[in-house]
Chains A and B, each alone.
Chain A
Amino acid sequence: MIFDRILSHGKKEREVVEDIKSHIHLLCFACDTFRKSLEKGDRNLMWEVIELEREADSVRREVISHIYEGAFLPYLRPDLCKFVEIVDEVFDLLKETAFYCVENEVPEPLRDESIRVALLNFRMCEMLVISFEAMLKGEDLREKILAVRIFEKKIDDIKLSLVKDVEHVPIENFWAGKALSDFLTGLTMISDIIEDASDHLQIINVSTR
């Protein structure tokens, strides 16, 4: 086992790293597709987001099985798996939020701010990719983590105004209201989970130094 790892010059590790990279890139793409769909009002794009979640699920399974087939030192494996699981949570939330948009129109008073949140979510994913690559190179992640937090704070501010604006949106019945509320909650919680993922990268980074 240990001989395999050394003699293969870290081939398994490189595979895992590439898999995780594609997982996060997929997330970026999904967030961007989500934003475009909101801007254009294109429901087909929303279906694409849902499909991407399924693809991400299978990438996640690949990563975890490669890790436990012997990539990386045992003390690192749970942290790496946890990171992948957190990114997967973002996908799940994105999918649920997308489901709302497939069935419903986002009310006009909330549309602009929702698109802004979607754009900022995409920016956060980009930062996550940058942070992961920086971690691989052994760079300090503080700046990048701070950038993620700045975006998350911006979304928090928008969330406050969304919460106020939604009070003026006419609702047909309790379930329509609940669905809209869940949509807004989901849309604004995506950034919280991306922030968790970025914090976790810092944990992994620090544990190897």
Chain B
Amino acid sequence: MKIHEFMTKKIEFIDSNKSVYDAVEQMVDRRIRSVVVRFAGKETDYGVLTSRDIVFRVLAKGINPKKIKVAEIASKPIACIDKDTDFEDAATTMEKANIARLFVCDQGKVIGLISLLDVMAAELVLKARGNHDI
């Protein structure tokens, strides 16, 4: 079993010139914890904005989210892995970079997302399968 079987394909994007408030609206509405930031003119240049970034770096500091652009607090570049990576490698990558999600990329394009929960679920399934050859 590979990463691409467990990844989430529905990725939400936001333009870098939008405000953090727009990002909050989008994330709350879609019930998601991160958005991929698209930079104008650069198709494979991505950043990521997470709920942690918003809460810790904007809201907790009392900054008005309407006055700050997404590009100012997004993290770049995003952490990417290949769609045929196995779960142990994905877990190691997440641990080394201390991040809760990895983007699955195919030729530079983001095609999916894998989270800590996905890695745990995959581990459970792999253990349940054991050494079975169907």
Interfacial residues, chain A to chain B (CB-CB below 8 A): 25, 28, 112-113, 116, 119-120, 123, 126-127, 129-130, 133, 143-144, 146-147, 150-151, 154, 157-158, 161
Main secondary structure, interface of A, reads helix
Q: List 27 A–B pairs whose Cβ atoms lie within 8 Å, in order of A's numbering.
A: A112-B9, A116-B5, A116-B9, A120-B5, A123-B1, A123-B125, A126-B132, A126-B134, A127-B125, A127-B128, A127-B129, A129-B132, A130-B129, A130-B130, A130-B132, A130-B134, A133-B132, A143-B124, A143-B128, A146-B124, A147-B124, A147-B129, A150-B125, A151-B125, A154-B121, A157-B8, A161-B10
Chain A residues with CB below 8 A from B121, complex form = 150, 154
**Cβ-defined partner of A147 (8 Å) among B8, B10, B125, B134:** B125
**Cβ-defined partner of A123 (8 Å) among B5, B10, B127:** B5
Interfacial residues, chain B to chain A (CB-CB below 8 A): 1, 5-6, 8-10, 121, 124-125, 127-130, 132, 134
In the bound complex, what is the Cα–Cα distance between A150 and B121 (angstroms)? 7
Considering the complex, give the chain B residue whose CB is closest to the CB of A144.
B128
Most A CB within 10 A of own CB, among B1, B121, B128, B130: B128
In the bound complex, what is the Cα–Cα distance between A158 and B10 (angstroms)? 9
Most B CB within 10 A of own CB, among A25, A113, A120, A150: A150
For the A-B complex with A25-B134, A130-B128 known, give 18 more contacts whose Cβ atoms are closer than 8 Å: A113-B9, A120-B5, A123-B5, A126-B134, A127-B125, A127-B129, A129-B132, A130-B132, A130-B134, A143-B127, A144-B128, A147-B125, A150-B125, A151-B125, A154-B6, A158-B9, A161-B9, A161-B10
**B9–A126 CB distance below 8 A:** no
Considering the complex, give the chain A residue whose CB is closest to the CB of B130.
A130
Considering the complex, give the chain A residue whose CB is closest to the CB of B127.
A143
In the bound complex, what is the Cα–Cα distance between A158 and B87 (angstroms)? 21
Considering the complex, give the chain A residue whose CB is closest to the CB of B1.
A123
Chain A residues with CB below 8 A from B129, complex form = 126-127, 130, 147
Chain A residues with CB below 8 A from B134, complex form = 25, 28, 126, 129-130
A112-B9, A126-B134 are known contacts. Are A146 and B1 too (CB-CB below 8 A)?
no
Chain A residues with CB below 8 A from B6, complex form = 154
Q: How far apart are A54's CB and chain B's nearest CB, in angstroms?
A: 23
Chain B residues with CB below 8 A from A129, complex form = 132, 134
Q: How far apart are B106's CB and chain A's nearest CB, in angstroms?
A: 12
Considering the complex, give the chain A residue whose CB is closest to the CB of B122.
A150
Q: How far apart are B126's CB and chain A's nearest CB, in angstroms?
A: 9
In the bound complex, what is the Cα–Cα distance between A129 and B1 (angstroms)? 17
Chain B residues with CB below 8 A from A154, complex form = 6, 121
